[in-house]
Structure 1
């Protein structure tokens, strides 16, 4: 223990130096990389953030591979991307099924080429307490929100590793850092998604593949209709266009973690530092609300 304390003290000058460096960088515009010609695969591209992000890449002359379980939705996104001038390939894929992902990935590599930017955006959410959440809904939440990230990454990472070039984006949530009642399965899966992003980042560094970048998006409630009547004192419900814009900026500047709004970043720090009784008061002040199914009934109700 004493040795660890001494080691930490020896690192103190580096902490001060790197903190000052990070502060200065806040005022220096970050250089944006070009994604022209990159093969970009986006899961859940048939609607919402996935669709809008596809449009942003299309405007920047990327080659697009779009996946979604909704055939009509994915075809509409693909058509609009083609109008924007992007070469676009659409695939109907169920991201809850590992073999469906591997089969589609094989077709992509044969028909399009090696994916260099992978955006794991597909997600599902069920708003209910644990008693009202069906077993199949819990399984599907994890299959889509985190396990699919493993299968897509295993499918497309080898080519990135070979070239030491690529970018893997994990669309997580504020619920991947802060728990919310009646979103138990969703928050648990998003905690896992954040852990996936962090572990992948460390593993790529350990393997000396620093040319492969990683980004994780963690927004508050978004106005996409998946969660009914959301509200919180953290700020208004986010519009999809705002989130897609910040995600695109984060990808182009190779930002590791994107919190929307930024106050979420502060809240995650507060959760790790302050007493539980204070945190209970803080949660009441934040006052997160949305429509949910409650299966548990107390005696007398």
Structure 2
């Protein structure tokens, strides 16, 4: 349903653009990211699949190609600001400006807080929170220039309530929700849309 609504709302503006609907999804190599990529591909969007795992992303690429969909794939670490900005430049040159940006990349270690290592906690914050900010900074400028665009962040029900064994994860998802709420306020007078999606748990 969310996929359909995003494509429908963005298609309204197509008549004033020579480009197709370019939909970029981070974390597209598996799980929810892959499912969204497949659904958007079936709806006619040009899918830009981004993942740090090239093998998983290649599988998503083959699945969409097998359905005669339009897809481009890129490897990127969303925690690396320089790499994200380089990705934005490359996508703009090779595919075109992104119309819908879906920040989906994330990790969810499930264990008691005292069992989390420093590396795990820092990785959760870097991927689930900081990665969102780098992607917004890299791709929002073209949306402002084109006077059109939509930014989506995949939050979670863990961003609306505390859950056992998910203390760091809950913190990152509360942060992701806060980022999108603040961004919506900041862009209130601009014709750019923002959406925060709070999902239940999925594989």
| TM-score (normalised: structure 2) | 0.88
The within-5 A match list for 1:70-109 is 70-109=53-92
Deviation at 1:100, TM superposition (A): 2.2
Alignment pair present for 1:181 and 2:164:
yes
Alignment pair present for 1:195 and 2:178:
yes
Decide whether the 8 Å contact of 1:61 with 1:85 is kept in 2: no
Q: Tell me the number of residue pairs that the alignment of Structure 1 and Structure 2 aligns.
A: 190
Match of 1:220?
200
Report 1 or 2 for greater relative contact order, CA contacts < 8 Å, sequence distance ≥ 6.
Answer: 2
Deviation at 1:159, TM superposition (A): 1.1
SS of match in other structure, 1:40: strand
Larger radius of gyration: 1
Q: CA RMSD in A?
A: 1.6
Decide whether the 8 Å contact of 2:78 with 2:134 is kept in 1: no
Distance 1:86 1:153 in 2: 26
Match of 2:121?
138
Match of 1:33?
9
From 139, 144, 150, the equivalent of 1:161 is 144
Decide whether the 8 Å contact of 2:78 with 2:135 is kept in 1: no
Match of 1:49?
32
Decide whether the 8 Å contact of 1:116 with 1:160 is kept in 2: yes
For structure 1, the residue ranges without an aligned partner over 5 or more in a row are 1-31, 225-301
Distance 2:141 2:183 in 1: 13
For structure 2, the residue ranges without an aligned partner over 5 or more in a row are 1-7, 15-19
Decide whether the 8 Å contact of 1:43 with 1:50 is kept in 2: yes
Decide whether the 8 Å contact of 1:97 with 1:143 is kept in 2: no
The within-5 A match list for 1:214-293 is 214-222=194-202, 224=203
Deviations 1:208-242 (A, max 9, x none): 21x211111112222x1xxxxxxxxxxxxxxxxxx
Match of 1:255?
none
Match of 2:131?
148
